[in-house]
Amino acid sequence: TIGGKGGRIYVVTDSSDDDPANPKPGTLRHAVIQDEPLWITFQHDMVITLKQQLVMNSYKTIDGRGASVHITGAGCITIHYVNNIIIHGIHIHDCKPIGNAMIRDSPNHVRLWETSDGDGITIRGSKHIWVDHCSLANCYDGLIDVTLASTSITISNNYMTHHNKVMLLGHSDAYIQDKDMQVTVAFNHFGEGLVQRMPRCRHGYFHVVNNDYTHWEMYAVGGSAAPTIYCEGNRFLASNDPNNKEVTKREEAPESEW
pLDDT of residue 123: 98
Nearest-angstrom CA–CA distance, 246 and 196: 11
121: burial class by Cβ within 10 Å (0-12, 13-18, 19+)? buried
pLDDT of residue 95: 98
Bridge partners of residue 205, in order along the sequence: 182, 228
Taking 80 as the threshold, does the pLDDT of residue 214 lie above it? yes
Taking 80 as the threshold, does the pLDDT of residue 151 lie above it? yes
Taking 80 as the threshold, does the pLDDT of residue 28 lie above it? yes
Taking 80 as the threshold, does the pLDDT of residue 253 lie above it? no
Determine how β-strand 109-113 pairs with β-strand 77-80: unpaired
Please give the average per-residue pLDDT across 195-200, as a whole number: 96
pLDDT of residue 257: 62
pLDDT of residue 243: 73
Please give the average per-residue pLDDT across 75-104, as a whole number: 98
Asked if 199 and 176 touch (Cβ cutoff 8 Å), the reply is no
pLDDT of residue 244: 74
> Is it true that domain 1-140 has CATH number 3.30.1490.20?
no
pTM of the model: 0.95
> What is the pLDDT of the chain when averaged over all its residues?
95
Amino acid, res. 157: N
For 118-147, the pLDDT digits (tens) are: 999 999 999 999 999 999 999 999 999 999
Domain-by-domain residue ranges, the chain?
A: 1-140, 153-258
Please give the average per-residue pLDDT across 60-81, as a whole number: 98
More confident residue, 251 or 15: 15
Nearest-angstrom CA–CA distance, 154 and 179: 17
Comparing CA positions, the residue from 190, 78, 65, 186 lying closest to residue 136 is: 190
Active site residues: 197
